[in-house]
Structure 1
């Protein structure tokens, strides 16, 4: 492959990479645990040719789920504990959230997780086609200003590679408390090759049966915003 093709593409990144100072314990989680949990093939320095991830080797041939932007990791660890027969990859560029997740992984003792501490688009570059069985996008950054809507995840730049990575028939769940994010999601996700699985209002007003409320949802409820739970299926 030529140098031009193997070079990392220029991608604007919007949002925080780091917040307040990390606690000593969180620094220890990052230095002691993160490398072993990270799928190394995502790193552009070690895999400039973008050789696809060996998901079968990573998770012992178990089905693989993906959470995009896991925040503090509550939902990711909950799903890993509840589904030991699957493997889950979490992608999150906010290092404070990554440190929080690592602490939860230690406490829970789950071993079916992998962590990509960076941009989900880099992960999409190395996910094999039709390799992911379920995906989650839970309370993503709303980018409320209209001129910033192109920064949202529910745009072709993100949805097209996600659709490529998902198996036909797999489920994509989106949770948000922002009405305009709901509107854009319902417009853009079907265009990327998904169908919305809703037959009535309860299908987007009530959480999924295996749901665990996250800190972002609790904040939305305190501020009197209404959560929406949208379920899509990847078309054949």
Structure 2
């Protein structure tokens, strides 16, 4: 029960890595709020958390909208009294095509959801963490931020921005008992896989020495460690979870 009496907000927690993280933190005693723009089949989703409903809430959240973020954070504090942990998982894959075919709107959407969304959520939550002299933040980047996958230039650029932002923010709050880190997964078993062609999957899978995709539960285990007090001396870092693909 590493997270007994801790309160966590997980953005993009309706599916994939975000959902796995929310479940992991609940299992270890946390109060968890999931913020997500997707309310499709919400009753079925909430049924997965029925046994923990006294420690779990779902809040509609658009990470590109400041008012939506403020309402979400306010809802979490009204429900649980504080926020100790923020995990920014919200994201989309976006266009998979050559850079010269990406439209300005497609580029802006990627930047707004991934980079601006991470910035706005951190900005809103960090003031509460500073007041309570405690906080753990994990932002989700990608191995493509380090290697730059072809036909993923917008996604790669947005995720690279998350790494730089994480390092800067972490150093700004390093003396305030707040840890800020990020992770860079390779190909993980999420809905993004279903959005890729078989050829795209094969190209990315071929880059992973372990020869398999990662599991959402494996990502959740890494994030749980980084937001635990076992990682109190770790900040401003980017942790790969890539099956050996990236080594720097």
TM-score (norm 1): 0.50
Which protein has the bigger helix share?
Answer: 2
